[in-house]
Amino acid sequence: MCLQFADLLSRALTHLQFPTRGVVGTAVYYDTKGRELFRWNHAWVRVGKEVIDGNVDCLSENPAVPNQVAVQPYWGPIDETPSDRRLRENHGTALPGDVDVDGIWWPELKAFIDKMLAG
């Protein structure tokens, strides 16, 4: 779901003329003592010098993720990313296409955004 979330958010912000890009990479999560708890392939969005790691609040629903991982969504400067995670970008790797994003969710979200902008 993080891939779809990052793709939709990136498309929406780009549509609103923000300089964004979806990012694929590895997210590593840590406990309060700096010990690694979990790592996985993940997706997030970059907006200039900021990062949006927004679909992590549902990690507790994933049976592969240890119960100790309890991170909150983050949107802010990349150099102030919380110490409970490290995001390592796979440079040159694009978000993969998704038929639901392409055919359903993005057209619906774009229509909603356009309607809201029109007043």
Mean pLDDT by 10 residues, the chain (119 residues): 93 97 96 95 96 90 90 96 96 94 97 96
Q: What is the pTM of this model?
A: 0.91
Number of domains present in the structure of the chain? 1
CA distances from 9 to 17, 18, 31, 52, 67 (A): 12, 11, 28, 9, 27
- Report d(CA 78, CA 81) in Å as an integer: 5
Q: What is the pLDDT of residue 8?
A: 97
Q: Cα angle at 115 between 99 and 96, to 5 degrees?
A: 20
Token digits for 67? 């119960």
Please tell me what DSSP assigns to residue 117.
H
Q: Which domain holds residue 106?
A: 2-118
